[in-house]
Structure 1
Amino acid sequence: MTLHNCAPPAAALARWLTDYPSDVDNYGHLLLEQDCDCDDELIADLVAYFQSAHADARAFFHEQMGIELHPDADAPEAHVTYPTCLPSITRRGLFGEVMAGMLTEHYEYIGKHTWTIPIFLFRFHEDAEAYLFALARDEERKREVYGRRGSDFLALALDDAGDVERVIAGEAKWRKKLQPSVVADLMHGAKKRNPVTNELEHDGKGIWYQVNRDIPAPHGLRQLQRLLREVDPDGYSAAIAKLDRVLVVKNPEPLPRTNLILLSGGDVPSRQARDPLIPWEDVPEEYTAPHDLQVVELILKDGDDLIDGIYDALWAI
């Protein structure tokens, strides 16, 4: 098992995206708009980061499936590999989570912290493991895959001694078309018919609800700590010890937190350039958590082609 060890492709991000950052009080907003077409060069520039993000889960899942990763073990016929063989909609969800990491490590967010992702938590995607295990033994077992539970994304801010100063945790969502109704459903929950008024109303269980009610130290921190103990206990000894104090049930040590919301997806004709999906001038009134908030909007013109190009190319170029 390996740590995540690939820096964001800064030159590719500068060529690919135009950024419009802002901040007010404890709220940061970053609008990113696609500035160049998806091509083989861009895909090649992004692949290394995606491979690093998925490397731990790839080794773990392949061991669970009983499939060798060594090149000499490749059979002439195609076999099941992670994450390439996951369903299309699942790969799009994974894309959003990896992009959350890449953008967080590259751009300046609210508070100007330096964020580090020691390792991505993809190995805890239980349904993906079950799906691939069955598919490796029966190619007719294709189905949709449930998403990973818990925070979509976690990163740490470490001091010079390797101690954890702050955590950033968030939701990363991909939608093919980011039109207003889709964004409203994401943020406020799916619409259901009110039995009293007979009107369709958001159920209130969207991203705002999830972010506002999350516990201060999310479960993903325990998963991250377990991985650090397994992969590099000496290099992350200070962080592991700090998380022990943060994750106790009684009288936990407080850990400052930033919440991240990443909305990524396809542009629509009704949206004008520089027009955000979530207002940036003031802290959104729907946000009631006591932590800093960072919203990132990643607006793409050919996102489907890019995602398929990246995931088809993993460990192939």
Structure 2
Amino acid sequence: MHTCPPPKDELDERFEEHPTVNGGLGHTLLEQYEIDDGTLSTALKTYFESAHLDARTAFHSFIGIDLHPDADGDAPIVTYPASLEMTTRRGLFGEVLAGLLTESYEYIGDYTWNVPIFLFRYHDDACNYLFTLARDPEQTRKTIGRLGTDFIGVSVDDDGDVVRIISGEAKWRQTLTQAKVDEVMLGKWVNDGAGGRVRSGKGVWRDLNREPSPPSGARQLQRLLQEYDADGFDATILCLERALVARDPVAIPKTDLIVFAGNARPNRPEQECLLPWEAVPDEYTAGNDLQIMEVVFKGGTDLIDAIYESLWEGGDDA
């Protein structure tokens, strides 16, 4: 289970927050004050270990790696997530960031959000890649991303009943520009058949509009809760089951989340937003509450590397 609280005090010291709410749209811009001197990456280390622990345990068992401190032999060369190539780790960072922000900041609707566990164990290609790499270190390659919901969290009442689900997309780009954001959100430019260009529409807006409610990640979350603590989460599990049946499901309201993070481009104006903040955009038609988080880093690539290179230093799981 994911049990580590976010280092909110450190986030407050390192980022300037600009929140707005307009109708059904919440938007928060976070701007990093200065390049990390090691303080932020150190503060985030434990949170990231907590986020990846379930997948680490599951993948190492599948691969056949024993990380117990008393295990015989040398420390394994291949481990999760350290042995994944850097592009994959950038994607993982974005997904953990979505949970970190959700548990740290106030979103539209003022719900208290909880991320009981991250869904990284369902990243099948990463697991298969590491299985092969442990047996043939020469077979290095990029992995495809995890299918389905990037991120999911729940808001529960005092009885453990789920009152709302939050899910969505997390994106990282090396440098944030309007062109890159538009391509991710609206799709690439394609020929319109008449000598012009139009957006393909195969972007995040389309994915959000098409995502079922509840999303498939809710089933994955439910199964992990059953595995780890069926008694402690009995009410949550039952609520999710009622919402996930194919016939006559009990609806649970949903909030859609977009997290877009990356490094500031040269000469970026302060408080510049690349995603809508004044009103729900026409491209979004799902009709749920929508929360957008724009996170502008200074030296974000080095921060990601520092975090992932520090996880489980020494090679042993706690």
Taking structure 1 as the reference length, what is the TM-score of the superposition? Answer: 0.96
CA distance in 2, matches of 1:207, 1:66: 37
CA distance in 1, matches of 2:236, 2:261: 31
Contact 1:15 1:36 survives alignment (8 Å) = no
Contact 1:267 1:300 survives alignment (8 Å) = yes
| Alignment deviations for residues 39-89 of structure 1 (CA, whole Å, 9 cap, x no partner) | 222211110000000000000000000001212337446510000110100
Q: For residue 237 of structure 1, what is the aligned residue in structure 2? A: 234
For structure 2, which runs of at least 5 residues remain unmatched after alignment?
none
Q: For residue 215 of structure 1, what is the aligned residue in structure 2? A: 212
5 Å-filtered alignment, 1:140-155, equals 140-155=138-153
CA distance in 1, matches of 2:11, 2:255: 23
| SS in structure 2 at match of 1:286 | coil
CA distance in 1, matches of 2:74, 2:14: 36
| SS in structure 2 at match of 1:295 | strand
CA distance in 1, matches of 2:276, 2:226: 41
Q: For residue 38 of structure 1, what is the aligned residue in structure 2? A: 36
Q: For residue 251 of structure 1, what is the aligned residue in structure 2? A: 248
CA distance in 2, matches of 1:203, 1:46: 37
Letter in 2 for 1:29: H
Contact 2:34 2:298 survives alignment (8 Å) = no
Contact 1:165 1:255 survives alignment (8 Å) = yes
Q: For residue 13 of structure 2, what is the aligned residue in structure 1? A: 15
Q: Structure 1 residue 280 and structure 2 residue 310: aligned?
A: no
Instruction: Give the drift of 1:287.
Output: 1.3
CA distance in 2, matches of 1:256, 1:202: 31
| SS in structure 2 at match of 1:272 | coil
| Alignment deviations for residues 274-304 of structure 1 (CA, whole Å, 9 cap, x no partner) | 0111131112221111110000001111111
Contact 2:65 2:76 survives alignment (8 Å) = no
| Alignment deviations for residues 115-153 of structure 1 (CA, whole Å, 9 cap, x no partner) | 001100000000000000000011011101000001100
Letter in 2 for 1:60: A
Number of aligned residue pairs: give it.
Answer: 314
Moved more, 45-54 or 274-283: 274-283
Q: For residue 296 of structure 1, what is the aligned residue in structure 2? A: 293
Instruction: Give the drift of 1:170.
Output: 0.4
| Alignment deviations for residues 3-39 of structure 1 (CA, whole Å, 9 cap, x no partner) | 1000000121012111100001111000000113212
| SS in structure 2 at match of 1:136 | helix
Q: Structure 1 residue 117 and structure 2 residue 137: aligned?
A: no
| SS in structure 1 at match of 2:252 | coil
| SS in structure 2 at match of 1:112 | coil
Q: For residue 306 of structure 1, what is the aligned residue in structure 2? A: 303
Letter in 2 for 1:85: S
| SS in structure 2 at match of 1:105 | helix
Q: For residue 179 of structure 1, what is the aligned residue in structure 2? A: 177
Letter in 1 for 2:124: E
Letter in 1 for 2:290: L
| SS in structure 2 at match of 1:71 | coil
| SS in structure 1 at match of 2:135 | coil
Contact 1:174 1:264 survives alignment (8 Å) = yes
Over aligned residues, Cα RMSD in angstroms? 1.2
Letter in 2 for 1:138: D
Instruction: Give the drift of 1:305.
Output: 0.1
Q: For residue 6 of structure 1, what is the aligned residue in structure 2? A: 4
CA distance in 2, matches of 1:134, 1:120: 24
CA distance in 1, matches of 2:45, 2:195: 49
Identity of aligned residues (%): 50
Residue 74 to residue 36, structure 1, CA distance change in 2 (3 Å): farther
Of 163, 166, 169 in structure 2, the residue corresponding to residue 165 of structure 1 is 163
Contact 1:175 1:264 survives alignment (8 Å) = yes
CA distance in 2, matches of 1:181, 1:71: 48
5 Å-filtered alignment, 1:44-193, equals 44-73=42-71, 75-76=73-74, 79-193=77-191
CA distance in 1, matches of 2:58, 2:303: 26
| Alignment deviations for residues 229-258 of structure 1 (CA, whole Å, 9 cap, x no partner) | 000000100001111110000110010000
Letter in 1 for 2:297: L
Letter in 2 for 1:223: Q
Residue 60 to residue 77, structure 1, CA distance change in 2 (3 Å): closer
